[in-house]
């Protein structure tokens, strides 16, 4: 085991993920009962807007009399390929796309199909289910702590952590919870440091959520240059509809064929109405500024957090702010968050859930501005 990376005890990630999710749900339930409409929840992950803005009813029953193709309806895959080819600046056809029931399922199926035992490198803090997903696929998650390098995964850290059993590197870009956005140059360097055999999986569900223009996509950066890469996108953030449960894997077609083969005995394709809604809605987000609601909120939150002694880290993407509390404040733990919520009626997401420190927390900007300001007042007074 390299000193640069930490393995988590076998099975530990799955049980920890279940326990932590349960703890946060319980905090929400308990505090909703106690605070009622006064409760301010800054821990949620849905975006503030949805595209398209109107809802078009469709005849769901008529679409559901046949099993859909495992990889998605050809017309829906082609429409998704066209939309992402344009948006990400790469060549994609329907054969370079597999539709999946959300990014979560997509990543898990991809890991099951393509990571045969071995180790998967995961920069932390990370999206909470990532480590459990690796375990589910029968591999060992190797967590690389990014705190010492300003929350960015570096090629040097990848080189130090990589070993003969490394099969994949799973990173989110833009990154949840830290808001880091990797440049095209950084993605190339990380790919080079991982080596040609290592599968790079870029979870780009926040791909449109970057403050300084579009985030570089692994699909545009590596495209045909490399055989071992996958990109994951999703309706949950891109069109603001997490209830649809649909997303897309983009990548080289022989890898996608292996993923579809596993999906055949696992998820069995994607709900047809969801496929059609996603593929029809993607063109509606072209040219839209996903960050518009968040820019002012970001500045306000950063200024306020600094004023109350938090070490706030300016996000380049996502709609979260990752911040370290003053010494002694343990808001990064479930117990600390529960105590704050109980006392002050404001819920934040604890850093430990993201494999971060017990000092850190994640604040969502995806709430009404007045609620955000009131939530910060309560945090300051706590
Ligand atoms: C980094 C990351 N990946 C994946 C997901 C889940 O995506 P989906 O709803 O498509 O399963 C989330 C949701 O918050 C996320 O933050």
Q: Whose CA is nearest to atom 13 of ligand 1?
A: 45
- Contact partners, residue 2, CB within 8 Å, separation at least 6: 142, 160, 161, 162, 163
8 A C-beta contact, residue 337 and residue 270: no
C-beta neighbour count of 285 within 10 angstroms: 18
1: pLDDT confidence band, cut at 50, 70 and 90?
A: very low
Query: Is 176's C-beta closer than 6 angstroms to any atom of ligand 1?
Result: yes
Going by C-alpha positions, the residue among 188, 193, 198, 141 that lies closest to residue 164 is 198
Query: Is 364's C-beta closer than 6 angstroms to any atom of ligand 1?
Result: no
> Phi and psi at residue 161, in whole multiples of 5°?
-80, -25
- Contact partners, residue 75, CB within 8 Å, separation at least 6: 279
- Looking at ligand 1, which atom is closest to the CA of residue 106? 11
Kindly report, residue by residue over 69-100, the tens digit of the pLDDT.
Answer: 999 999 999 999 999 999 999 999 999 999 99
Indicate the pTM of the whole model.
0.94
Sheet with 320-324, edge to edge strand ranges: 311-313, 320-324, 360-364, 349-350
Rounded-to-integer distance, Cα 12 and Cα 302, Å: 34
- CA of 309 relative to ligand 1 center, distance in Å: 30
Query: Is 310's C-beta closer than 6 angstroms to any atom of ligand 1?
Result: no
Kindly report, residue by residue over 176-219, the tens digit of the pLDDT.
Answer: 999 999 999 999 999 999 999 999 999 999 999 999 988 999 99
- Looking at ligand 1, which atom is closest to the CA of residue 242? 9
Query: Is 239's C-beta closer than 6 angstroms to any atom of ligand 1?
Result: no
Three-class secondary structure of residue 141 per DSSP: strand
């Amino acid at each position: 085991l390299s000193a640069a990376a930490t393995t988590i005890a076998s099975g530990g990630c799955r049980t920890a993920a279940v326990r932590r999710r349960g703890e946060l749900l319980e905090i929400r339930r308990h505090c909703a009962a106690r605070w009622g409409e006064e409760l301010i929840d800054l821990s949620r992950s849905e975006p503030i807007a949805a595209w398209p803005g109107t809802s078009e009813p469709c005849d769901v029953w008529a679409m559901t009399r046949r099993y859909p193709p495992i990889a998605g309806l050809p017309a829906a895959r082609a429409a998704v390929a066209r939309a992402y080819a344009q948006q990400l600046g790469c060549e994609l056809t329907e054969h370079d796309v597999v539709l999946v029931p959300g990014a979560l399922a997509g990543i898990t199926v991809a890991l099951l199909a393509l990571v045969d035992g071995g180790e998967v490198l995961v920069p932390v803090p990370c999206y909470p289910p990532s480590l459990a997903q690796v375990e589910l696929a029968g591999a060992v998650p190797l967590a690389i702590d990014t705190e010492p390098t300003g929350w960015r995964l570096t090629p040097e850290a990848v080189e130090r952590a990589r070993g003969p059993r490394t099969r994949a590197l799973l990173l989110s870009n833009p990154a949840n919870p830290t808001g880091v956005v990797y440049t095209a140059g950084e993605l190339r360097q990380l790919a080079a440091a991982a080596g040609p055999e290592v599968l790079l999986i870029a979870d780009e569900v926040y791909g449109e959520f970057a403050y300084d223009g579009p985030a570089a996509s692994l699909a545009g950066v590596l495209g045909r240059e490399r055989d071992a890469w996958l990109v994951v996108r999703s309706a949950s953030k891109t069109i603001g509809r997490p209830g649809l449960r649909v997303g897309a894997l983009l990548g080289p077609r022989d890898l996608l064929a292996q993923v579809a083969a596993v999906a055949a005995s696992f998820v069995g394709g994607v709900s047809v109405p969801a496929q059609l809604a996603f593929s029809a809605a993607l063109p509606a987000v072209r040219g839209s500024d996903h960050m518009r609601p968040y820019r002012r909120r970001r500045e306000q939150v950063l200024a306020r957090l600094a004023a109350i002694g938090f070490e706030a880290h300016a996000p380049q993407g996502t709609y979260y702010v990752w911040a370290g509390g003053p010494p002694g404040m343990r808001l990064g733990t479930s117990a600390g968050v529960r105590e704050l919520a109980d006392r002050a009626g404001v819920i934040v997401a604890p850093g430990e859930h993201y494999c971060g420190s017990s000092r850190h927390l994640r604040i969502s900007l995806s709430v009404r501005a007045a609620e955000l300001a009131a939530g910060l007042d309560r945090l300051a007074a706590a």
